[in-house]
A and B are shown apart, each in its own frame.
Chain A
C-alpha cells in the first residue's frame, strides 16, 4: 500500500535526484585534486534522520555513495555513546573504517538537517583524499600498514563546525598531519559546501511539500525500489548458487597465508529474498591492509553486483537508488574472515579485494541467470606517484582500468573501470602539464583477447616515465589469477607491472608494492587484465573474427588457433 498518491511520489523523486545531482556537480567542480575532479571518486547522498538513504548523485562513484548510510548510523551511535548532542549548524567529519567508512581516506562531511528544531535528515558527501597522514605519501598503495593506526588519521564523528562555528583546532591538526594540505583541505572545504547545498535543497523540498508528505514519499519510494528488486529475485529459481575466486594477496610474501587467498560466495535464493553467504572466504590477514570492512565495502560490493545484474539499468531503466534496494539482501560473513575483519586489522587497501568479491558474487549469480552476467572481470590497480618539489609534496593518483568479460550477445567492455568502481582516467595532457611524469604509451593490449562466442574485454598497456626522482606505491590484484571464462569461453589474461630502470634493468613487480623510490628516467609499465570469454569460441561469427584481425587485436594465426577461422587475402574469414 502506498502512503501518498503516485503523482506526488514521482515529483518528490525528481526533486531528490535534482538535489543530489547539484551536490555532486558542485563538489567535482570545486575540488582540487584529480582523484575527485577527474576520477570522480566521491559520493553525495541524502538520508533520513536515521541514515536511511533517500537518493544519491548519479555522477558519484558507487563505492562512495553506497556507504553513506553506514557513516550516518555510526555518527549517530558514536555521538550517543559519548553523550554529545547534535546541533543545527554542526558539520561532522567521519572516516572510521570500523564505523561505516569504506576506508580511512574516504572522509565524510555530514550535515544534519534540522526542521523546526528537529533532526529530519542528513546531507552527506564523501570523497577519496590524496593523503590522510599514513606512513607513506598518498592514500593508496599503503600496502604495508600493519594496523588501522598506521593507515592515517582516524576521525570518529568529529565536529568540524559546532553549531555553525568553525572548530579551528581540528583543522589545525588536519593541516599539520596531512601531506599536500592545500589540496586536501581545499577538497574538504568543497565537501562541506556541497553538503550544505544538499541540506538547503532538502529544506526547500520540505518547504514545498511539507515534512509529512516528504517522509511518506520517501517511505513509498523505498518500498518501490524494494518491490522492484524483490520481483527480480522472485524470478530466480530458489536454490544455493556457489562460486569462489582467488586474489593475489601478497605474492612475494614467504608466508603462504598471505597469498592466493580464496573468496567464496554462496547466493541463497529463497522466494523474494536472498542471502549472500561469504563463508569459506579466507581468514583476515591481521597485519596487511587488504581486509574489507563489512559495512562500507563488502555490503556495497554485494548490493551493487546484485542490482547491476537483476535490475540492470540498461535493461530496466532507472530505479531510484535508496535503502529499499538493500532490504531483500542479507549478508553473512564470519567474523575474522577477509570480509569481516576484527579491529584493528588494517583495511586501507581493500579496493581490489572488494572488487574481486563483487566479481565472485557475479560468478555465483551466473549460475542462476547466465544471460544477465558477464564472464569474469579484470580487476583494477591503483597507483600513487609522489615526490618533493622545493619542499612541497606532489601526489598523483591513478586508477588503472580493468575490463569486463564477454556477455550473452555482446563482447566485453574494453579498458574500463569494473563493478563497484567507476572513475575516470586523467588526460595525458593534464598529467604531463602538472607533475614530472611522461606517459609513453596508453593503448589496448594486442594478442590478449579471451576467446569466446563473445570475446572478453581487452585491457590496456600504460607506460609512465619518471622525469624526476620520485616515489611510487601500488595496490592492485590479478597478477596470478586470470578472469574466469563462462559457458565455454576461455579465461582472460592476467595483469602485470614492470619497472624498467634508466640503466635498462628490468624488474617484474608483484601486484602490491609499498612506497618505493625511483630515479629520473625509470619507467613503470602497467599491463591491465583482459576479461574472460563468454560461450564457445567456435561459435563466434567469422565476420567478427575477421574484424578483430583487421583491427590488429589478434593476428591471423591467432584467429586460426583460437577460433578456427582462416583469414583470406581480402580480409574476410572462413571457418575451417
Chain B
C-alpha cells in the first residue's frame, strides 16, 4: 500500500512517499505556492510519484498537513461571518474575559476588539434560554426571530454563520434547530454550532471556537474541495486525509464540517514525526524541538503519549480555542532571530527575525543585522560552502562584519559575542522547555531531545545541557519530520460533554449514558467515513478537579460499564495526577467530574521502521578538519574539529565531539564532552559523556 504525506510549510512543501509493504521511502521538496498552496501540492505529488516510479492511481492515501486555516486566522483573512446568540448576550465575543493582554500598557490592542472575528453589526440576538444543571428550557427558541436574523445576515452579505447559545453544551436542541433554519434561509452559507464543535462550559471560549470555525470555514472548505478534485485530476484515486490539531487525521468531509480541527495541523505532524523517530530509537520520553528560521516549536511525549493542552491554555492569534490539541509551544527563536542591544544596554536575541528575506547577513540578500545563523558561521559551526548541501553559498565575511558591529556595541570580543548570541537563544529555548515540563510536574532530565528543523540539530546539544538532558536524537531527515509524522497517525475523532458531578453523588446511569452516546456518535462518524468497526478503538477520559478549582486534569476512565469501583479508580487516578502535577493531593476533598471525553481512533497503515545504510566508516565520512568555537566549563576556546558527511557515517560506532556533521537539510553540532553514533534505525544519537 502506498501512502503520501504532504506538509505545506511557509517556504517549502515537504513530501514523503512510503510503500508500506516494500518499506520503500522517497522524499521530495518543492517551493510552497502561497497564493494557492494546492498548486505546490499537486506539483510535488506528481514529481514525487515520478521519482518513486509509481503511478498516482497506486496511491491509497494522501495525508496532508495544511496551514490554510492557521494563515487565515493569523492574517485575519476569513469569511464575512455572522453570529446568532441569546438575547442579552450580543457582545460575549467582544467583552471576552474583560482582561487586558498586557498589564503595563495603554496603547495595546485587544485582538477580539481590534480584529473581531464577527462585527457587532452581524451579531444577532434571538429569544431563547437554557439553564443548568441539565439544559432545561427556560425560554423557548423564537424560530421566527432566527429566520429574521438569517435574512438580515443574508442581506448584509454574510457568508458564514456561527450559532452560539448559552448552556448549549448541556442541550444542543436550540442550536441545532436554529442551524436548520439558517441553512434553509441561507443556502450556500457555512453554518456551525458551538455545541457541535466543543460542548463544554465557558461561553466566551466556546463561542470564539465556533466563530473561528465559521471565520475559516468557507476558505478551508473550498481549499479542501479544490485539492481533492485536483488530486483526482492527476489520477490520485486514493483518499485525502487532513492532519488535525489533536494529532490524528480527519477525512476531507470532517474537516470541511469542522475546519477549526486543522488550526494546528502542520505543528501537530511535527510532534508525531518526532515521536516516531524517538520510538524507532527505543525512546518514549521525548521533547520534540523544531527550529526553523523564525520560531521554535516544542512538543512533549511522556511515556509514549503526546501531551495535550488543557482547554484553557490553547489559543491562536490571541483567540482561545476550546478543542483538543497537542500541547505545542512556539517561541520566537530561530536561525534568523536578530541579536541586538536594546535602549537600556541589554543584550537580546529575537523574537524579531530576519526571516528568509532579507535573511541573515550571510545570505547576501541585503540583510545587515546580526542573526543566530551569522553567529553560528563566526563560530565555525555552520560551513559557508556546505549550506543546503552546497546549493547555497554563505557569505562568512558579511556574518563576521555584523557580529563585529554587535561586539563593538557590547564591548565584548567577537567570539564571545557570537557565542553569547547562541547562549541567550539557547537559554530562551531551555526556559520554554522548562516551563512546559516543570509546570506539568515532568522532570526533563529523564527525556531525550529530538532535534528537528533546519536549525534544531545545531543547537540541541547545548540546549539539552542547560536542562541536564543527557541525550539528543537527530532524525535521518530533520527537515521533513513533519511530512514523516503524517504517515504515522491514525484517524482520530474526539467527543466531549460537560457533566459537573461531584464525588459521593455520582449519577452512574447518566455517566454511562453520556459515554455510550458519545461512543455511538463517534461510531457513526467512522461508519460515515467507511472505517471498519474492528479498526476503531475508543478511550474514555474524565476532566476532573477538586470542587472549587477552575482547572481540570485528565484522567483515564476504565473500559466497560462505569460503577462505583471504576469511579473509585478514577478518583484515585485524579489524586495521583494532582500530586504529580502540583506536588500534593487532597484525598479527603470532594472531586468534581467536569467533562467526559471519548477519543476514537481508526487505525491507519503506518510507516515501516527505518534503517540506516550500512557500510560507512569514520574515514569515509570525514570531509576535513577545521576549527570551531565552543564554551566548555565557562571557557571559550577554538577546537580542531572533524567535519563528517552524515550519509557515510558507520552504524553503532561512537565518536567524540567536537564534531560537525553535514547533510543536505541540516548541520549537527556535537560539542566537546559529547559523543555521537548512528542508531541502526537511522537517527544520530548524541550523548553527553560527563554531566557538569
List the interface of chain A (C-beta within 8 A of B).
Answer: 2, 5-7, 9-11, 14-15, 17-18, 21-22, 25-26, 28-34, 37-38, 40, 58, 61-62, 182-183, 186, 193, 197, 224-225, 227-228, 231, 304, 307-309, 311-317, 319, 321, 362, 372-374, 401, 404, 407, 410, 413-417, 422-425, 427-430, 432-433, 438, 440-444, 460, 463, 547, 550-553
> A372 contacts B107, CB within 8 Å?
yes
Closest to A228 in B: B344
CA distance A308 to B584 in the complex (A): 38
CB-based closest 7 A-B pairs? A32-B548, A37-B550, A6-B347, A551-B120, A441-B88, A7-B420, A314-B108
B317 to chain A minimum Cβ distance, whole angstroms, is 16
Contact A416 B584, CB 8 Å, known A26-B439, A372-B106, A443-B90: no
> B106 contacts A308, CB within 8 Å?
yes
> B132 contacts A424, CB within 8 Å?
no
Q: How large is the interface on B (under 10, 10 to 19, 20 to 34, 35 or more residues)?
A: 35 or more
> B345 contacts A415, CB within 8 Å?
no
Chain A residue numbers with a CB within 8 Å of B90 are 443-444
**B92 in complex: contacting residue of A312, A410, A424, A442, CB < 8 Å:** A442
Within B326-376, which residues are at the interface with A (CB < 8 Å)?
A: 341-349
> A307 contacts B104, CB within 8 Å?
yes
Chain A residue numbers with a CB within 8 Å of B342 are 317
> A443 contacts B97, CB within 8 Å?
no
CA distance A308 to B424 in the complex (A): 27
> A416 contacts B110, CB within 8 Å?
yes
**B104 in complex: contacting residue of A29, A308, A407, CB < 8 Å:** A308
Cβ of B608 within 8 Å of any chain A Cβ, yes or no, is no
> A427 contacts B109, CB within 8 Å?
no
CA distance A553 to B123 in the complex (A): 12
**A11 in complex: contacting residue of B109, B410, B424, CB < 8 Å:** B424
Closest to A226 in B: B344
A179 to chain B minimum Cβ distance, whole angstroms, is 14
Cβ of B98 within 8 Å of any chain A Cβ, yes or no, is yes
CA distance A33 to B548 in the complex (A): 6
Further contacts, 9 of them, CB under 8 A, given A11-B423, A22-B438, A433-B133? A9-B346, A26-B439, A28-B550, A224-B346, A314-B105, A422-B103, A425-B95, A442-B88, A444-B90
Chain A residue numbers with a CB within 8 Å of B420 are 5-7
Chain A residue numbers with a CB within 8 Å of B204 are 427
B9 to chain A minimum Cβ distance, whole angstroms, is 28
> B427 contacts A312, CB within 8 Å?
no
Contact A424 B95, CB 8 Å, known A313-B108, A433-B201, A550-B121: no
> B551 contacts A444, CB within 8 Å?
no
Chain A residue numbers with a CB within 8 Å of B500 are 433
**B98 in complex: contacting residue of A30, A424, A441, CB < 8 Å:** A424
- Of the stretches B393-401, B428-436, B488-496, the one at the interface is B428-436
CA distance A407 to B109 in the complex (A): 11
> A417 contacts B121, CB within 8 Å?
no
Cβ of B144 within 8 Å of any chain A Cβ, yes or no, is no
> A30 contacts B106, CB within 8 Å?
no
Closest to A420 in B: B103
**B106 in complex: contacting residue of A7, A193, A309, CB < 8 Å:** A309
Chain A residue numbers with a CB within 8 Å of B131 are 432, 438
CA distance A551 to B589 in the complex (A): 48
Taken residue by residue from 100 to 143, chain B's Cβ proximity to chain A (1 for < 8 Å, 0 otherwise) reads as 10111111111001000001110000000001110000000000
B423 to chain A minimum Cβ distance, whole angstroms, is 5
Cβ of B22 within 8 Å of any chain A Cβ, yes or no, is no
Chain A residue numbers with a CB within 8 Å of B550 are 28-29, 31, 34, 37-38, 430
Contact A231 B439, CB 8 Å, known A414-B95, A415-B98, A417-B99: no
Cβ of B583 within 8 Å of any chain A Cβ, yes or no, is yes
Chain A residue numbers with a CB within 8 Å of B412 are 5-6
> A32 contacts B549, CB within 8 Å?
yes
> A407 contacts B106, CB within 8 Å?
yes
CA distance A574 to B190 in the complex (A): 34
Chain B residue numbers with a CB within 8 Å of A316 are 343
